[in-house]
Structure 1
Amino acid sequence: MRPHYDFVVCGSGSSGSVAARRLAENASVHVLLLEAGGDDDVPAVRNAGQWPLNLDTERDWQFVAAPNPHLNGRSIPMNMGKVLGGGSSINVMVWSRGHRNDWDYFASEAGDPRWGYESVLDIYRRIEDWQGVPDPHYRGTGGNVFVQPAPDPSPVAPALVAAAAHAGIPTFDHPNGKMMEGEGGAAICDIRVRDGIRQSVFRSYTYPYMDRPNLTVLTGALVTRVILDGGRATGVEFVRDGQTHRVGATSEVVLSLGAIHTPKALMLSGIGDSGQLSGFGIPTVQHLPGVGQNLQDHPGIGCVWEYREPIAPRNAGSEATYFWKSDPSLDAPDLQVCQVEFPLASAECARQCDMPEAGWTLYTGLVRPQSRGSVRLSGPRPNDPVRVDPNMLSDPADVRAAIAGVELSREVGNAAPLAPFAKREVMPGDRTETELLRFIRDAAATYWHQSCTAKMGRDEMSVVDAELRVYGIDGLRIADASIMPRVTTGNTMAPSVVIGERAAELIGETHGLS
């Protein structure tokens, strides 16, 4: 450890690993990457099919949401990665870029066209190493991100795509291109798996630079707050092996701790809503009422079928998807369904149904949720837990979309192309409107896409500007999914990589790095 680095990047997830790597490409720059979790070189991380074994282990923060009256009083698990690679080391490895409208909305909120779809498409083409059918307008080759259509998928996956077509949903060669410029569609998933091995963002970006003398990666380092000198960030404080340490950042601090810990670190540093901070005796350095607000996530609802004959999951066990609209008048799809090649249900629903040992799930997600939640402190100390309240399904529009999404999943799941793989529909089955609504409130869980708690924008609730700089604080940027003004349409790993790339570009421009 050096007492000072040029840049201190906090968090090695899908944005932090990218930012650290790009900054370290300049040999004259010294970069420290801090990660609260441990090593990723364990079978449950490396073996793509073992991802569920990471949940509720030391590689998971094991957050639990506050009781939610809109989910029949349930407190749902909110798993997040606590390991080198963050979420990209424990997720399902689906590469989903987001819809054109997402990025154009980001550009509008930021007042900067460089966040728009065409600019972001350039980034995606530059960073990808696409292994599917050549599509040079949308896909790139030779970049850091190995991505391919799920190889040798289970026969139930192409059957899902055919069943979606049976329900009037168009099909595409891949889900990251033209399909996400319009109404949506169905396709075999793009995944970050190579020969059965997970390709985490840390392994793709940071790991190849681990032998560079200008990059230091420290595990077991829990960042607790940003060190501030007046209105400037000068370093960070972290706890490792029970001891508190301080390290300086002569140029910038980059927070990439995710949508729960990034606002926590800001608030413990005196950056946030002054009323909340004063209630815990934390002096306010910068009043930013948006810190910890605007929490968004994709609710997921498991609709389950029993296999006629069991088929073992392949790849990561999720190989087909479709995006569609709950209302034809919408400007973009607001539903995403990922087929899961095993039964997946909330604990409440599993207790109520005769769950099969072998089955498949249409995990019905709301990707344009209107509900908004929050992340709040419960005390002034770093070991005081945060209160996470996603407020899921609190907006009536989300409830209407969920009902439409489940009804569409039932239509697709019971369509002729999937009949050879379905012995019976386990849940939800035929229900009255009242029964279906209760099922949805019992079934809804997280898609693990927590985001938006330190949003980019120009209104009073914004936390960062178009260059990801925290308002009112010099030398401090945020690079993770918390800066999203709204959650992207689909899985959030790929957009988080783009955020890391943009952060590194912006930092490079500020400091004249080539």
Structure 2
Amino acid sequence: MKIDMNPLEQGDRLMTLQSALVHGRIGRRDFLRMAVAGGAALATAQAWAEELGDAAITQRYNARKLAGAYDYIVVGSGSGGAVVAGRLAAETSASVLVLEAGGTDQLDAVLNPLMWPTNIRSERDWGYSATPSASVNGRSLILPMGKVIGGGSSINVMIWARGHKNDFDFWASETGDDAWNYRNVLEIYKRIEDWQGVQDTSRRGVGGRLFVTDVRDPNPIAPAFLQGCQSVGIPVFADMNGEMMEGQGGAALANVRIKDGMRRNLPSDYLWEVLKKPNITLLTGAVMHRLELSGSTVTGVTFEKDGELHTVQANRRVVLSAGAINTPKILMQSGIGPAAHLKEVGVKVVHDLPGVGQNFQDHILAAGCVWEYETVLPPKNSAAEATFFWKSDSSLDTPDLQPFQIEVPYASEVHGPAFSVPNNSWSIAPGLVRPKSRGQVRLTGADPSAPVVIDGGFLKEEADLKALVHCIDLCREIGNSEALRDFAKREVMPGPLKGDALKDFARNAAGTYFHESCTCKMGRDSMSVVDGSLSVYGIDRLSIADASVMPRVSTGNTMASTVIIGERMADILIG
């Protein structure tokens, strides 16, 4: 008997069943029966039962039989770590240990695209915040980072933004390694993507492992937003990651990682299938304490799980993929970083590497410009379905602005109460994706449990504030355009502010895109932490494969460009 339920209820039911199977709460036979009754096709249910059931059994065994040594230890299972670990396990016979501080990704809050905001400040978020800063009127901006299998790819908004052509050519110039240039990175994208949108054989791949689509059945406000962009001179493109990101920019519906109404995080395509193999162990709840070294050679790691310390040897290499806050934290806890700072907090210096924790960057996403709906419309996909890339100054070589049209109200803790933002609203969030401001990550003590201090550097450079103010004006012009008039009962905020009042609004509106990056940059200068092959300078058998290695943050949401870093790391290790 098939159970009648609406599509959202059906999706939630199937997510719950998958989680129960992975955790061993139900067997395969019961899973098949209940999944089919819940609306899944038999063939689909059988595939889920085999993949998730085998993986669960193997990983439970491997976790109980933790070995003393592995060929590779990968710290973090996010957009970089999942790629590295999954490819090593699938394409070699090497033994791989993946250490993830968080827990399972088989949860409704992760799998349901519209539930992504519930992950922020939950147990699936490390809960970091920047220190209060005068440049954002004394506010402390939150810095969510995924503490869950899949890392940021499990808690973000699922946007697949490749980055601009100039980003990768800059990375190649900084490292002196042409493997990072756009032409070569484009071949990786074409290899890994299974693009569902308008065909573009010179730029998009079909048949790869990563399902990528433009948003389907969008809220009508999303295409209207594109018309509004066009009315102010921003051209509209069929694909946000094609020709548009090789030139001056433009507007488009978003590329997303949503399939059959469910999030596709990176482990779903790189890890879940290989977790059936005996040569990979994914250990959750494993919090890194330090790298183990013999002289300048990394020999293994020490981590804590369930209150117990474990030291495990790495026969070939440790790859840090813990993110732009935790990766420099782990390095500094292990004595690798700026010598003066390490001595200041009581850490024995193993290797003076001054760039560790420096060069912190994140995109600004301001909250924002808000209109009250004329007739309320339900959000679709991830509730952020249309965007544009544009320049605040025509002399720039790359777009520095990326607002998103958001189908729900989006206001800061200052502006929400001040403007009495109603629930029946929609937003355009001004975005700055080429910030000039820089921050840093520092330790407060030698103990691994001691918190880090994060100076986000947000809007410290006057040029960033100027660009954000320009973006607010541009977003207001679009939101008040004829194309969006049928959707707007009234403009809620900011209204026609000018001069210092608008700057003050921008400082109180500023938040981040949750794209923390650049704290262990690759390059060849004295502040570089890794070389073009992602090996840590001065330390043997240690690499980094996450957004911290970006010398300059990529233009747009950083998940896709971090996958490229993971792919490059895997190519280097596998040869």
Residues 312-327 of structure 1: pairs in structure 2 closer than 5 A: 312-327=378-393
Correspondence for 1:335 among 384, 397, 401: 401
From 398, 404, 414, the counterpart of 2:480: 414
Give 3-state SS (helix, strand or coil) of 2:272's partner. Answer: helix
Please tell me whether residue 445 in structure 1 is matched to residue 511 in structure 2: yes
Q: 2: CA distance between counterparts of 1:432 and 1:251?
A: 59
Q: Which runs of 5+ in 2 are unaligned?
A: 1-65
Q: Aligned pair 1:45/2:116, yes or no? A: no
CA contact (8 A) 1:27 1:214 kept: no
Residue 561 of structure 2, aligned match among 479, 483, 495: 495
Counterpart for residue 92 of structure 1: 157
Partner of 1:504: 570
The RMSD of aligned alpha carbons is 0.7
Instruction: Say which of 277, 302, 313 aligns to 1:237.
Output: 302
How much has 1:27 moved relative to structure 2?
4.4
Task: Report percent identity of matched pairs.
Answer: 53
Given that 2:235 and 2:250 are in contact with CA atoms closer than 8 Å, whether structure 1 keeps it comes out as yes
Q: CA deviation at 1:17?
A: 0.1
What residue in structure 1 maps to residue 57 of structure 2? none
Note the alpha carbon deviations across 1:222-257, whole angstroms, 9 max, x for none: 112111111111111111111111111100000000
Alpha-carbon distance in 2 for matches of 1:484, 1:192? 22
**2:438: which partner in 1?**
372
**1:306 is paired with a residue of what secondary structure?**
strand
State the partner residue of 2:173.
Answer: 108
Instruction: Find the aligned partners of 2:492 and 2:302 in 1 and give their Cα distance.
Output: 50
User: Deviation digits for residues 288-346 of structure 1, max 9, x if unmatched?
Assistant: 11000000000111211111111010011011000000011111100001111100111
Distance 1:26 1:180 in 2: 32
1:431 to partner: Cα distance: 1.1
Does the 8 A contact of 1:256 with 1:478 survive in 2?
A: yes
Q: 2:350 aligns with which of 254, 272, 285?
A: 285
Match for residue 491 of structure 2?
425
Report which structure shows greater RCO (CA 8 Å, sep ≥6): 1
Runs of 4+ in 1 over 4 A off after TM superposition: none
**1:26 shift after superposition:** 3.1
| Corresponding position: 1:344 with 2:407 | no
SS of residue paired to 1:335: coil
CA distances 1:38-62 after superposition (whole Å, capped 9, x unpaired): 0011101011111011111100111
User: What does residue 76 of structure 1 align with?
Assistant: 141
2:241 pairs with 1:173: no
Residue of structure 1 equivalent to 2:87: 22
Distance 1:427 1:13 in 2: 36
- 486-495 or 431-440: bigger deviation: 431-440
1:363 shift after superposition: 1.1
Q: Work out the CA distance in 2 between the residues paired with 1:409 and 1:51.
A: 24
Q: How many Å apart are 1:432 and its aligned residue?
A: 2.5
What displacement does 1:279 show? 1.1
AA at the equivalent of 1:418 = L
Partners of 2:287 and 2:76 lie apart in 1 by 9
How many angstroms apart in 2 are the aligned matches of 1:45 and 1:358? 25
DSSP 3-state at the match of 2:117? helix
Alignment check: 8 A CA contact 1:49 1:196 kept: no
Write the deviation string for residues 448-467 of structure 1: whole angstroms up to 9, x where unpaired. Answer: 00000000000000000000
d(CA) in 1 for partners of 2:339 and 2:220?
56
Structure 1 residues 343-371: Cα deviation after superposition (integer angstroms, max 9, x where no partner)? 01111111210201111111111110000
Does the CA-based 8 Å contact 2:161-2:558 persist in structure 1? yes
Higher helix fraction: Structure 1 or Structure 2? 2
Query: Are the aligned partners of 2:92 and 2:574 in contact in 1 as well (CA < 8 Å)?
Result: no
- Could you tell me how far apart the structure 2 residues matched to 1:465 and 1:224 are? 25
**Structure 2 counterpart of 1:6, from 59, 63, 71:** 71
Amino acid across the alignment from 1:181? E
Per the alignment, residue 480 of structure 1 pairs with: 546
**TM-score normalised over the length of structure 1:** 0.98
Residue 428 (structure 1) shift: 1.0
Q: Show the counterpart of 1:396.
A: 462
Find the aligned partners of 1:447 and 1:349 in 2 and give their Cα distance: 18
CA distance in 2, matches of 1:231, 1:508: 23
Picking from 206, 210, 229, the partner of 1:164 is: 229
Counterpart among 131, 146, 150 of residue 211 in structure 2: 146
Q: Which residue of 1 aligns with 2:23?
A: none
Q: Identify the match of residue 219 of structure 1 among 279, 284, 303.
A: 284
SS at match of 2:153: helix
Match of 1:512 in 2: none
Deviations 1:253-280 (A, max 9, x none): 0000000000000000000000000112
Distance 2:387 2:357 in 1: 31
- Counterpart pick for 1:465 among 518, 522, 531: 531
- TM-score relative to the length of structure 2: 0.88
SS in 2 for 1:295: coil
Q: Which amino acid aligns with 1:408?
A: L
Secondary structure at 2:430 match in 1: strand
Aligned to 2:252: 187
Deviation at 1:130, TM superposition (A): 0.6
Unaligned runs of 5+ in 1: 510-514
- 1 CA distance for matches of 2:498 and 2:77? 47
Q: How far 1:475 moved relative to its partner?
A: 0.3
How far residue 72 of structure 1 moved from its aligned partner, in angstroms, is 0.4
Instruction: Give the residue type in structure 2 aligned to 1:205.
Output: Y
Moved more, 203-212 or 24-33: 24-33
Measure how far apart 1:373 and its partner are: 0.3
Choose from 262, 268, 272 the match for 1:203. 268
Query: What is the SS of the residue equivalent to 2:281?
Result: strand
1:434 equivalent among 500, 503, 516 = 500
Distance in 1, matches of 2:295 and 2:277, equals 34
Deviations 1:183-224 (A, max 9, x none): 100000000001110000111111111101111100000112
Aligned to 2:302, the other structure's residue is in SS state strand
Match of 2:98 in 1: 33
Distance in structure 2 (CA, Å) of the matches to 1:26 and 1:422: 53
Letter in 2 for 1:502: R
Q: Is the 8 A contact 1:37 1:84 kept in 2?
A: yes
1:259 match = 324
